[in-house]
Amino acid sequence: MAKGSGILLLIVLASALAGAQVLGQTPGGPEPDFKNAFVGSSVACSQPSHTIFVPRLVAERAKIKARLLNLLRDSLYDDARGVVNIARENEIKKLANKLRGRQTD
């Protein structure tokens, strides 16, 4: 048992050392040249822009899902603090039922 924990301790120390060396490095390479970037040079996109068309029903469903996820996250945080918001719980129930109803369509 002591031999296994000693090996584990060595692995943890080695990974901590490797992590400390990685943190000391600056990510992203050299600093950007802000002085030349704001001197009036124009920036143009070399690639053409693309337009994505989303069907109306898909967009409506995505909006409902996004609203439901935000409410669920807020509700989770409030539950952790011991707060109950009945209006929010009713809205969650209404949105969940709306999603269930549209799923069968």
pLDDT of residue 47: 78
From the CB of residue 26, how many other CB atoms can be counted at a distance below 10 Å? 7
Could you tell me which residues come within 8 angstroms of residue 91 by beta carbon, excluding any fewer than 6 positions away? 71
Give the residue, 52 or 25, on which the prediction is more confident: 52
Could you tell me if residue 34 is inside a domain?
no
Could you tell me if residue 68 is inside a domain?
yes
Could you tell me if residue 11 is inside a domain?
no
pLDDT of residue 27: 53
Could you tell me if residue 28 is inside a domain?
no
**What is d(CA 60, CA 32) in angstroms, rounded to the nearest whole number?**
41
Could you tell me if residue 21 is inside a domain?
no
Q: Which domain holds residue 87?
A: 50-105
pLDDT of residue 95: 94
**What is d(CA 45, CA 24) in angstroms, rounded to the nearest whole number?**
34
Structure tokens at 2: 């002591």
The percentage of the chain sitting over the pLDDT mark of 70, rounded to a whole number, equals: 56
Could you tell me if residue 32 is inside a domain?
no
Q: Which residue has the tokens 């809205």?
A: 91
pLDDT of residue 52: 87
pLDDT of residue 67: 94
Q: Count the domains in the chain.
A: 1
